[in-house]
Amino acid sequence: KQEVTQIPAALSVPEGENLVLNCSFTDSAIYNLQWFRQDPGKGLTSLLLIQSSQREQTSGRLNASLDKSSGRSTLYIAASQPGDSATYLCAVRPYAGGTSYGKLTFGQGTILTVHP
């Protein structure tokens, strides 16, 4: 059974810092890994998706890396801003087909607070 762990559970930083969120998973047989952001009481916003064959993806100040063999992904946020405050979730997707299609396994999330 796939298990996804995110470290740290919470992070509080001053504005402007570069920071790293970590995600690890136990089963390396994944189709892709997706990072999401969730604001309080809201739905999930997709930030980055990394295919199992890729090593990293970038979007603006965000960079996500994937090391499938070691079961790890990191989300790097450059020059953090108060508007980045949210819960960040990583989710892995097993290989498509069979009964596993579409079943994302989420980590517990990292609650990020960026102080002005």
63-70's contacts with Cβ under 8 Å and 24+ in sequence apart are 64/33, 64/35, 66/33, 68/28, 68/30, 69/28
Nearer to another protein, 29 or 79 (CB): 29
SS3 (DSSP) at 55: coil
Which residues contact residue 53 at a Cβ distance below 8 angstroms, ignoring those fewer than 6 apart?
none
Nearer to another protein, 16 or 103 (CB): 103
Least distance between another protein and beta carbon 15 (Å): 25
Name the amino acid, one letter, at 108: Q
Least distance between another protein and beta carbon 86 (Å): 14
Chain residues that interact with another protein, rule: CB under 8 A: 31-32, 34, 36, 41-46, 49, 51, 89, 91, 93, 96-97, 99, 101-104, 106-109
Nearer to another protein, 18 or 46 (CB): 46
